[in-house]
Amino acid sequence: MVTLTQLNQLFRDEFVRQIGPVFEHSLWIAETAWPKRPFRDVAHLHQALCDTVRTASEEKQLVLIRAHPDLVTCMKLTAESQREQASAGLTALSSAEIAEFESLNKSYREKFGFPFVICARLNNKDTILGGFRTRVKSSREAEIKTALEEIYKIAKLRLQDLCPAN
């Protein structure tokens, strides 16, 4: 954990090391936001980070979305993703439920070209499955927007974990 005062005083490389993991494998967001210091509070920092994503090219936004893992995957997850998926009950599934997630992940990826992203900490297994079924019917443009909004929620919670008293 770190205070906002400490974050505001960090050199760029250390700021990126601390804040970078807030957005899955996307250090460029923290690098771009660093010059906008000092941040008044964690909400201001979160806004600056999200504005960085909002003003990025669609290709950079897609790289960010694609940096997220499929849900219920056997690939190596970041510590943050492991905790988030566990909090939604995604680490204690039956073999039938795992097969359903694998099928939904595949269908979603085939349609949109990126993984289904949802803030697992704000959902549970059933709402996530419902989200899959509903969102796979969306347009690609709508799904890019929805995925980014979910990423902003994930980032907000991760920032609150990093700077809980701010």
Residues annotated as part of the active site: 68
Is the Cβ–Cβ distance between 113 and 99 less than 8 Å? no
Cβ atoms within 10 Å, residue 95:
7
Cβ atoms within 10 Å, residue 93:
14
> How many whole angstroms separate alpha carbon 106 and alpha carbon 110?
6
> How many whole angstroms separate alpha carbon 18 and alpha carbon 115?
25
Residue with tokens 């349609």: 111
